[in-house]
C-alpha cells in the first residue's frame, strides 16, 4: 500500500522554539490531515487541507498542502509544554484511497525544560 | 456533542481466544472506520462501515471482522487471537459526505493485550 514518509521521527526542543515537520508521498494526494496524539488517547484532528498550495492556521499551528500534491508541512510556533505528543500526517490518495487514510509513522515532539 | 466512545478501554486475553470491541460514533456520523496502532507499524487501516455495509477493507486476515448496526454503532471482532494482535485499536467516525471518509474523529481506543 501507499507509504507516507514523515520526518523527523522525533524532535527535542526548548520551550518557546518553533517546530517544523513534514510528510512526503510517492503519489498524489487530494487531502492532507494533521493529527496530534497524547499518551493513552486517540489522535485529535488539528488541521485539514484540501487544495494544493493551501495554507491553513489553527492558533499557533500552520499547515500547508504542497504544490506538487505529494507533500505537506506542519509548523508550530512558540512551543509550550502542552504541545508534547505525537504528530501524525494523514493523506487520502487522489484515486479515492480504498485503503482509507494513509498515516505517517509520526513525529514525537519532546520539549526540554 | 459527545465524541467517539470506545469500550472497553483495556482488555487482556490469551492466545486462541476471541474478542469483541465496541464503538459508538459521534451523533449524525454515518461512517465508522477501525485502525490498528502498534509502535512498529503505526496506524493501519482495518475496515470502514457505512450504512451497515463494509465499503472499504485494509490488508488484514479474515480473523478480523466487523459490523455496523442501524444506529451507526459498530463492533469489531478478532477471532483466534495471536500475540501479534496486541495493539491499540482505534475507532473513528466521519460524516462521510463523499465516497471515501476523510475527516476522521477518533475515540480513545481499546488497548488489547494478548498473553
pLDDT at A24 > cutoff 90: yes
Whether residue A78 has pLDDT greater than 90: yes
Q: How confident is the model at residue B92 (pLDDT cuts 50, 70, 90)?
A: very high
pLDDT digits (tens, 9 = 90+) for B9-30: 999 999 999 999 999 999 999 8
What is the Cα–Cα distance from B46 to B68, expressed in whole angstroms?
Answer: 14
- CB < 8 Å to B103, chain A: 33, 45, 48
Residues in B closer than 8 angstroms to A34, CB to CB, are none
Q: What is the DSSP string of A26-44?
A: SS-EEEEEEEEE-TTS--E
Q: What is the pLDDT of residues A34-54, one digit of tens each?
A: 999 998 899 999 999 999 999
Least CB–CB distance from A31: residue in B4, B45, B102: B102
Average pLDDT over residues A56-69: 96
Q: Does B40 touch chain A (CB under 8 A)?
A: no
When scoring A97, A100, A102, A106 by the number of chain B Cβ atoms within 10 A, the one with the most, hence best to mutate, is A100
The predicted structure's pLDDT at residue A40: 84
Average pLDDT over residues A75-86: 96
Share of chain A above pLDDT 90, in %: 74
Chain A hits for B106, Cβ within 8 Å: 35, 42-44
* pLDDT on residue A93: 79
Q: What percent of chain A has pLDDT over 70?
A: 93
d(CA A1, CA A98): 10
Name the residue with higher pLDDT: A70 or A1.
Answer: A70
**Which of B41-45, B86-90, B97-101 has the weakest average pLDDT?**
B97-101
More confident site: A56 or B103 = A56
* β partners of residue B38: B42
pLDDT at B36 over 80: yes
Start-to-end Cα distance in chain A: 40
Task: Grade residue A3 by pLDDT with cuts at 50, 70 and 90.
Answer: confident
Cell 509502535: give the residue: B39
Evaluate if residue A112 carries a pLDDT over 90: no
Asked if B1 and B58 count as a contact pair (C-beta separation under 8 A), the reply is no
Q: What is the pLDDT of residue A27?
A: 87
Distance CA A34, CA A90 (A): 6
Query: Which residues from B are below 8 Å from A107, CB to CB?
Result: none
| Nearest-angstrom CA–CA distance, B83 and B106 | 25
Q: Which residue of A has its CA nearest to B58?
A: A99
Surface of B (49-108) touching A: CB under 8 A: 56, 58-59, 90, 92, 99-108
CA distance A29 to B99: 15
How much is the pLDDT for B100? 55
Using CA coordinates, name the residue in chain A closest to B6: A42
**Which pLDDT score, from 0 to 100, does residue A9 have?**
95
Amino acid at each position: 500500500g501507499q507509504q507516507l514518509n514523515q520526518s523527523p521521527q522525533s524532535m527535542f526542543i526548548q520551550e518557546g522554539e518553533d517546530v517544523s515537520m513534514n510528510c512526503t508521498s510517492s503519489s498524489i494526494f487530494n487531502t492532507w490531515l494533521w493529527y496530534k496524539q497524547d499518551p493513552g488517547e486517540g489522535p485529535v484532528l488539528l488541521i485539514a487541507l484540501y487544495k494544493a498550495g493551501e495554507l491553513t492556521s489553527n492558533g499557533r499551528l500552520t499547515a500547508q498542502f504542497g504544490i506538487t500534491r505529494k507533500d505537506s508541512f506542519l509548523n508550530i510556533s512558540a512551543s509550550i509544554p502542552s504541545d508534547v505528543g505525537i504528530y501524525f500526517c494523514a493523506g487520502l490518495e487522489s484515486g479515492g484511497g480504498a485503503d482509507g487514510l494513509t498515516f505517517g509513522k509520526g513525529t514525537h515532539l519532546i520539549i526540554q525544560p | 456533542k459527545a465524541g467517539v466512545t470506545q469500550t472497553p478501554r483495556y482488555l487482556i486475553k490469551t492466545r486462541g481466544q476471541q474478542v469483541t470491541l465496541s464503538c459508538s460514533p459521534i451523533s449524525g456520523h454515518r461512517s465508522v472506520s477501525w485502525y490498528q496502532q502498534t509502535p512498529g507499524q503505526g496506524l493501519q487501516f482495518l475496515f470502514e462501515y457505512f450504512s451497515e455495509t463494509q465499503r472499504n477493507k485494509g490488508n488484514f486476515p479474515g480473523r478480523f471482522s466487523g459490523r455496523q448496526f442501524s444506529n451507526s454503532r459498530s463492533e469489531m471482532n478478532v477471532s483466534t487471537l495471536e500475540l501479534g494482535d496486541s495493539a491499540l485499536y482505534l475507532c473513528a467516525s466521519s460524516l462521510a459526505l463523499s465516497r471515501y471518509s476523510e475527516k476522521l474523529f477518533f475515540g480513545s481506543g481499546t488497548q488489547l493485550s494478548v498473553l
